[in-house]
Chains A and B, each alone.
Chain A
Amino acid sequence: MEKVRSPKNIFVQGPILAEKIAQSIANHATKTDIGGHSIFLGQIRADEKPEGKVIAIEYTCYEEMALEKAFEIREDIFAKYPLTCMHIYHSLGEIKVGEICLFVFTSSKHRKAAMQACDELVERIKAELPIWGKEILDSSATQWKVNT
C-alpha cells in the first residue's frame, strides 16, 4: 500500500537532546529491513569573531514556509533514493555552544543510499529552509549568522 505523507513539524524548541537521538535510533529496531542508518548532527561551534566569541545561536524561522519547503525536500529525496525512513529536526530558540541544533536521520536497506540522502538533505536544509541564526557573543553583542 502506498503511504501518503503529509507535512510534519520539524521544529524543536531548544536543543536536541542526546536522549531524543538515542530514542530515535531505538525506534528503528523493529524495522528489520533496514541495513544502514546515516545521521548528521549539527552542533553550535564557539567561533571566534572580531567582536567576541560565539556563546549561543538564537534560531527563528518562517514556520509555515519552512514546513512546506521541508515537505517538498522530503518528497524529492524519497523519490531519488530508496529510503526506508527519514527524520529531520531543527532547533528554534537559543542554543548554546556544544548543543545540537540539527538532527538529520536517514535509513535504508544499504548504506550508500542512506549516506547520500543524508548529505543531500543537510545541504538542502541549509540552503532552502527559511531559518535564521543570530549569534550571541560573549561581549553580549549579536550578529546574524552567514551560511558558508
Chain B
Amino acid sequence: MPDRIRLKAFGMLAEKIGADSLEIENPGSSETLRRLLLEQFPALQPLTFRMAVDRKLIQAETDISAGQEIALLPPFSGG
C-alpha cells in the first residue's frame, strides 16, 4: 500500500485550498503536514485551524500513518 493519506478540508479552509478533499503523500506527522500546507497554500497562513486524525481532534503533534483520514478544521460555528 502506498504511503498516502486522505485530507479533508472544511469551511473557510476548503475555500482557500480550492478543494474539500485531497490525497497526498504521508508527511509522517501533523506538524510536518501543517508546515507543508502553509507552504503550498499561503492563503492559510493567517488562519487558525485545528486537525483531526481519524475523526479525533488532536491536541499535540501526532504521528500520521498511511490510510488515516486527516481533517483540517477551522473554528467551529454551529448553533
Contact = CB atoms under 8 A, between A and B. Distances in A.
Interface of A: 42, 59-62, 64-65, 68, 90, 101-102, 122, 125-134, 144-147
A68 B55 contact: yes
12 contacts: A42-B79, A60-B10, A62-B10, A62-B71, A122-B79, A125-B79, A131-B78, A132-B12, A132-B74, A133-B77, A144-B77, A146-B75
Nearest to B52: A65
A62 B78 contact: no
A145 B78 CA distance: 9
A102 B77 CA distance: 12
A131 B76 contact: yes
> How many interface residues does chain B have, given as a range?
10 to 19
Interface string B46-58: 0000001001100
Given A62-B10, A132-B12, A147-B75, 16 more contacts: A59-B78, A61-B78, A90-B78, A90-B79, A102-B79, A129-B76, A130-B10, A130-B73, A131-B76, A131-B78, A132-B74, A132-B76, A133-B78, A144-B77, A146-B77, A147-B77
B6 interface: no
B68 to A, nearest CB: 13
A126 B78 contact: yes
B4 interface: no
- Which A-B residue pairs are the 4 nearest by beta carbons? A131-B78, A132-B11, A126-B79, A65-B55
Contacts of B52: 62, 65, 130
Contacts of A145: 77
Contacts of B10: 60-62, 130, 132
